[in-house]
Amino acid sequence: MKAPNIYLEAKDAVGTEKEFQVSLTNAGVYGNIRQVQFAVWSVQGDQDDLIWYGAEKKNAGTWTKTVKIKDHRTLGTYNVHAYITLANGSVKTKTTTFNVSRPTAKLTVGTQDKEKGTTEVTVSNIQSKSGISAVLIPVWSQGNQSDLVWYTAQKQSNGTYKITIDMGNHNYNEGTYQIACYIVDGNGIQTGITSGSCQMKAPNIYLEAKDAAGTEKEFQISLTNAGVYGDIRQVQFAVWSVQGGQDDLIWYGAEKKNAGTWTKTVKIKNHKTLGTYNVHAYITLANGSVKTKTTTFNVSRPTAGISVSEYNESSGNFNVTINNIKSVSGVEAVMVPVWCASDQSDLVWYQATKINSTTYKATVNIANHKKHAGTYKINVYLETGNGMQVGIGGCTQEIKNTGLYTIMGHSDVTIAQMVTYYKKNNLTYDQYSGRLSQYNGVLAKGGAANIETYCTIFKQEAEAEGVRVEVAFAQAMLETGFLKFGGDVKPNQYNFAGIGATGGVPGNEFSDVCEGIRAQIQHLKCYASDVALNNPCVDPRWGSWLRNKAPYVQWLSKANNPYGIGWATDAGYAEKLLNMIKNLKTC
């Protein structure tokens, strides 16, 4: 035997899925029924929305109840169980199901308006049997959803719903924005329908640096269209040149012109650098967040041609011409530093004279450079209208020796010439008369048995240090009276140039002839050059303060030396040496 056909149904009579009419029919076959209850719940959620409904008796066999979906707030399949309590207390059951459909829709993300920093999102093709109470669209850009904003879409005349995503609502964050769509239907159920995303970039804020006057003296920094950020607390411009690693960085407080425009004038004289400049704008918003914008500008390098003209060999004077000058900011002055000495001890800065708008000229007088002969180094600096001193370039000019006899250099004088010259003035080598006779043979003991050996040592030592042998040999002959001595210095001191000998003081002593000659030649090199020694130093009076102070024989006389120092105080000392050198070379 089977139970008689009892019918349980759940119908959406209106077709809106808001209310379902649950009906138990033909229950009269059970006879007297004490009560009927309907247990209703959705499959989703494990009976978390279970409601027991007491059915209403319509007649002996029919019991009904209206179920409102808003009381359950769930989509999908619903279970309905009917519990029929008979007069004898026994319970019969009957089951059925019904379905609440899920809304559907299409989400369309538009293109960003880069001027405003906004993007439109449209929800269309919405299908929801219970109707639409609201369309909600949450949007966020950060992984932790810290900038999450729920937008309520507005219904359009064509039945679609639309929102506008504004970056200002999301701290103007750049990157990927996540977009979800929820529909709140006629049953009050909020359902996630679909999702999407879009890329958002900061709105087109413009940062420019313009040289309005075209002089590269001042640049107007302008931040425009910043009003898209809403309320701005302050704007600062950080400005520095690429050269120098931010050593000229200056922070400028921008001035507000209107809601969207902030400006500041940057004077290049405060930075004093050429080339590319960086400009960073720091925009502090009302909420304390900071936005940035960057740009660059350039300050051009002046150019000019440099030439040496009208070189006068007799006087050693020459002109430096600076022409074809191009400087956007103008020229305040042209400076020309000139020197000949390697240590720049004769450095002189000349201010060039303006010839016309693109040409300047400076006259160099070697008298200002202690009449040095050799290579003159010439540099040119432009002092520009924007406060900079800019090196343009340089050149050199060779100044010939104007009658000055150099101590350093190659010599063609031979040992034979030196021997002949000596013998013309002294035929008794290493033999002395009177009270000096006790020193007879002392030069031989010191390593120079004859004049040929003595001259050979001189030649070797002079060539070792690059000193002209005729200068050193003539000096030794002058100081010793052709090795006759007779003054304060004695033959056994092997001091052939009176080193350290002054007014009754005999001066320094050396161990042998070679050391004495070496000390003299090294002392000459100390005066005449700034080049290092090749042999170990034996000169007891070697001093850095003497270096290169007398490169010419003429300057060995203190009276003729531009530095006020010299080997000898005798004003005619150099002339005597030059005459002896002349005679030596004729041998």
Taking only the tens place, the pLDDT of each residue in 339-355 is 998 889 899 999 999 99
- Nearest residue to 442 (alpha-carbon basis) of 374, 373, 486, 490: 490
What single-letter DSSP state applies at residue 494?
-
**Each residue of 405-462: pLDDT tens digit?**
899 989 999 999 999 999 999 999 999 988 999 999 999 999 999 999 999 999 999 9
Q: Which residues contact 207 (CB under 8 A, 6 or more apart)?
A: 221, 222, 223, 279, 281, 293, 294, 295
CB atoms inside a 10 Å sphere around CB 490: 19
Whether the per-residue pLDDT at 1 is higher than 80: the answer is no
Q: Taking residues 195-202, report their average pLDDT.
A: 92
| Distance (Å, whole) CA 499 – CA 153 | 106
Going by their DSSP bridges, the two strands 33-42 and 161-166 should be labelled as unpaired
Comparing 104-200 with 303-399, is the CATH topology the same? yes
Strand partners, 41: 79
Whether the per-residue pLDDT at 542 is higher than 70: the answer is yes
Domain ranges of the chain: 7-100, 104-200, 206-299, 303-399, 415-586
From the options 3.40.190.80, 3.40.190.10, 2.60.120.200, 2.60.40.10, give the CATH code of 7-100: 2.60.40.10
Amino acid at 138: P
Q: What is the structure's pLDDT at 315?
A: 61
Helix or strand holding residue 515 (H, E):
helix 513-528
Q: Mean pLDDT check: name the lowest of 17-31, 130-144, 548-562.
A: 548-562
| Distance (Å, whole) CA 549 – CA 528 | 6
CATH, range 303-399: 2.60.40.10
| Distance (Å, whole) CA 241 – CA 273 | 7
Whole-number percent of the chain with pLDDT over 90: 82
CB 252 within 8 A of CB 237: yes
**Burial classification of residue 566, based on how many CB atoms lie within 10 Å of its CB (0-12 exposed, 13-18 middle, 19 or more buried):** buried
Structure tokens at 151: 């937008």
Architecture category of domain 415-586 in CATH: Orthogonal Bundle (1.10)
| Distance (Å, whole) CA 163 – CA 147 | 17
Classify the phi-psi angles of 367: left when phi > 0, otherwise alpha if psi is within -120 to 50, otherwise beta.
alpha
Whether the per-residue pLDDT at 547 is higher than 60: the answer is yes
Topology adopted by domain 104-200: Immunoglobulin-like (2.60.40)
Query: In CATH, which superfamily holds the domain spanning 206-299?
Result: Immunoglobulins (2.60.40.10)
| Distance (Å, whole) CA 18 – CA 41 | 15
Q: Which pTM does this prediction carry?
A: 0.56
**Burial classification of residue 576, based on how many CB atoms lie within 10 Å of its CB (0-12 exposed, 13-18 middle, 19 or more buried):** middle
**Each residue of 310-347: pLDDT tens digit?**
777 656 689 999 999 999 999 999 999 999 988 898 99
Mean pLDDT of the chain: 94
* List of E strands, 300-330: 303-309, 318-326
Q: What is the structure's pLDDT at 556?
A: 94
Q: Which residues contact 586 (CB under 8 A, 6 or more apart)?
A: none
Q: What is the structure's pLDDT at 15?
A: 95
Helix or strand holding residue 239 (H, E):
strand 232-241
